[in-house]
Chain A
């Protein structure tokens, strides 16, 4: 039977189907309205966080330089105890902030490079990067802690610090980017937002509140090397913007670990194509912006799951460094002109699931350069689900024609829907439909 015969065959389907298809088709908006509330709450929370917390000036991971044991001295200067000290001109202090997101534990702190520096020298290694943190207002503000990060894991820095107070650690939210007002056109509620939420984690053990000399050992972000151009990042982590996600939950300790292999995304790290870590900066200076980020494009992938839910593994093949037609279409879109694209770094994923709770389990770069995003739909319902995932990625990273394929059903390992390659194209629309 050929297609024309099939079309003729369809003439004999039940009349009710024909009538129903010809009738006006209206989507049920009841559930959307219900889920609009948490969406609005999430956006509001992000806006408040953006106003309440200072921006991180730098986001680059620490630069790890090869240590030179012979050039280091033991720091025993009591001036390092408490307070802030002026830098010894003979010692270069690198003040950088770095962000690492631990997708599993979610612990995070924020390094605030506000210009305060401490003098630190190390035993067994040169100072490669110093994370200087100033106590937040409300705590004892005169204590400055300085930790040094060494190139080789296991080396320690002896620092002497005075009485310290517990530093509030935990999940912090920092929102950068420009908030853009929501815009509604046509029948679709459309909200564009430049807000991003970043969490940072510090891998240090903190000295306790006494005056004895403490050994501060800072675990290094594995995989960083002296090569400042392109680090091999294996730190688990992912980047997600809670402000832009509708009905999603933050990761928790029970999150399924990323699959082995591949390179896991680190905020600020574009993956194999991204810029490497920046060199240490002089105290008080802010780290430069990613020089390669000029503009972003958005890839929208929509999937109708039908009558069941499962954890999808959505795969994009990101091919670099060519600039594709998608970018041109994106740049010509007046809606995107409202976004301050220079604030973006890493991958920003907006996840919307129509009427359903969902979360991003993990995102990771694959060995072949593709991006695997694992999404789990939390509720078990029998009706249709529409999953929209949008990626904000730099323009020097393009999407291949065979992108956006759903790989397999995680529940029963069966193949699930494959999209037509030619139907995938960029779409600037940012929808927070719920």
Chain B
């Protein structure tokens, strides 16, 4: 409502409600507090420009997504050839195991088809495993934080994520996307 009324208080409210969580996501990806703040500022500007006409149903997730996308772009730009700090390095390394290898680099995959397939995969996962997967690869949360939040040991978290990745790989192969 504040956005639609072009009330600048909307920005302060957004930071107040979602700033900490978004900052954590951006920091996990970029490994830098300053870069994370810049991503939040970029996302605030983007939300201000997008709303209206956009009317996100879940504003919190919408804003987090904006922050995340900016963080990923910044990460991609800064680490084009090499991997840097933050949880992204580890998360990307984990995902590289189950995604396309070098032999598939020339294959063109419709992004939308892949997205739908991933959505189906996530829908089939038990809720707890899905939350675990999203927390790790969407929020880019560290294993230690996940272990505390999910009341699991770190090795359990690692093993569970490993199994989910294997399951994802089988799912993508089954659908012909890998």
Contact = CB atoms under 8 A, between A and B. Distances in A.
A2 B99 contact: yes
Interface residues of A, number: 46
B150 A18 contact: no
B95 A302 contact: no
A7 B100 CA distance: 13
Given A384-B126, A384-B129, A302 B96 contact: no
Given A26-B151, A423-B162, A427-B155, A4 B72 contact: yes
A404 B21 CA distance: 37
Interface stretch (A101-109, A201-209, A356-364, A414-422): A414-422
Contact of B99 (A3, A17, A302): A3
A420 B94 CA distance: 11
A21 B130 contact: yes
B158 interface: yes
Contact of B159 (A1, A307, A423): A423
Contacts of A10: 118, 134, 137-138
A339 B96 CA distance: 43
Among B56, B114, B134, chain A packs the most CB atoms within 10 A around the CB of B134
Interface in B135-152: 135, 137-139, 149-151
For the residues of B in contact with A, the DSSP-based class is: helix
B122 interface: yes
A19 B126 CA distance: 16
Given A7-B95, A304-B163, A384 B128 contact: yes
A4 to B, nearest CB: 6
A-B pairs with lowest CB-CB distance, top 6:
A15-B61, A21-B134, A15-B58, A3-B95, A21-B131, A18-B61
Interface of A: 1-4, 6-27, 187-188, 300, 302-304, 306-307, 383-384, 386, 417-420, 423-425, 427, 429
Given A11-B138, A427-B153, 12 more contacts: A1-B100, A11-B68, A15-B56, A15-B58, A15-B65, A21-B139, A300-B155, A383-B126, A384-B128, A417-B166, A418-B166, A419-B162
